């Protein structure tokens, strides 16, 4: 498989985590967003959205959108699973993942920040304030949701979660960890988020997450 991605892209980071958790080898294809390589005809003509990540399967199929790619990997390489076997638990994990991928990330990705600065001509301080507000707001909601889910687990007689849901990585962890990395890069306040940061710290103890992190990528210094 080939993964077209950028080391700082949160969505790309999600897919790298999934690949590493599952122990799947892949060919790292760097697409430098900062140099607008994703808009070059050779790349953009193959991807309808001209974004990263994109996964080329062993059969030559091109897949886009990180959440779809991760669920494809989970269906085609089911061990270890990134979604629980129970339907209710799967819904809980998907909801956590979507809180990041659908609520937080779209408001603070590179395209939005560039538009704020260049088209709307907001100051760097205003742009950074926008970023910090929406990331912090979203993570506070994530923290509240983790607390509610922990109460549900206790009521059901389940063991406390060490990660976002249980003790093994799920789709939710694939989404949370890159968002924390990104937030820290922009100096977002992470205080007062004990469950969220405990899940992040537990994930980062795992070799798969360490191998997937931006500093481990071959294009990290480009």
Can you spell out the DSSP letters for 143-154? HHHHHHHHHHHH
- Spatial distance between the Cα atoms of 115 and 5, rounded to a whole number of angstroms: 21
Rounded to two decimals, what is the model's pTM? 0.95
Please, what CATH class does the domain formed by 87-211 belong to?
Answer: mainly alpha
pLDDT of residue 40: 80
- Spatial distance between the Cα atoms of 81 and 220, rounded to a whole number of angstroms: 29
The segments of the chain whose pLDDT lies below 70 read 222
Topology given in CATH for the domain delimited by 2-80: Glutaredoxin (3.40.30)
3-state secondary structure of 130: helix
pLDDT of residue 156: 93
Residue spans in the chain of domains classed CATH 1.20.1050.10: 87-211
Structure tokens at 29: 């294809």
Structure tokens at 187: 């100096």
pLDDT of residue 108: 92
């Amino acid at each position: 498989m080939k993964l077209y991605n950028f080391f700082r892209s949160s969505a790309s980071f999600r897919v790298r985590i999934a690949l590493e958790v599952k122990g799947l080898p892949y060919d790292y294809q760097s697409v430098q967003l900062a140099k607008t390589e994703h808009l070059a005809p050779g790349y953009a003509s193959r991807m309808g959205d001209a974004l990263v990540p994109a996964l080329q399967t062993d059969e030559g199929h091109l897949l886009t959108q990180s959440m779809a790619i991760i669920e494809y990997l989970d269906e085609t390489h089911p061990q270890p699973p990134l979604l629980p076997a129970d339907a209710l638990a799967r819904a809980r994990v998907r909801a956590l993942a979507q809180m990041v991928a659908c609520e937080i990330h779209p408001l603070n990705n590179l395209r939005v920040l560039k538009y704020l600065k260049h088209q709307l001509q907001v100051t760097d301080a205003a742009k950074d304030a926008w970023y910090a507000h929406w990331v912090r707001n979203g993570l506070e909601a994530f923290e509240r949701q983790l607390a509610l889910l922990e109460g549900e687990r206790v009521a059901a007689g389940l063991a406390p979660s060490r990660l976002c849901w249980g003790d093994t990585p799920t789709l939710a962890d694939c989404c949370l960890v890159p968002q924390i990395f990104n937030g820290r890069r922009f100096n977002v306040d992470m205080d007062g988020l004990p469950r969220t940061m405990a899940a992040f710290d537990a994930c980062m103890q795992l070799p798969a997450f360490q191998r997937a992190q931006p500093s481990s990528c071959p294009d990290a210094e480009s």
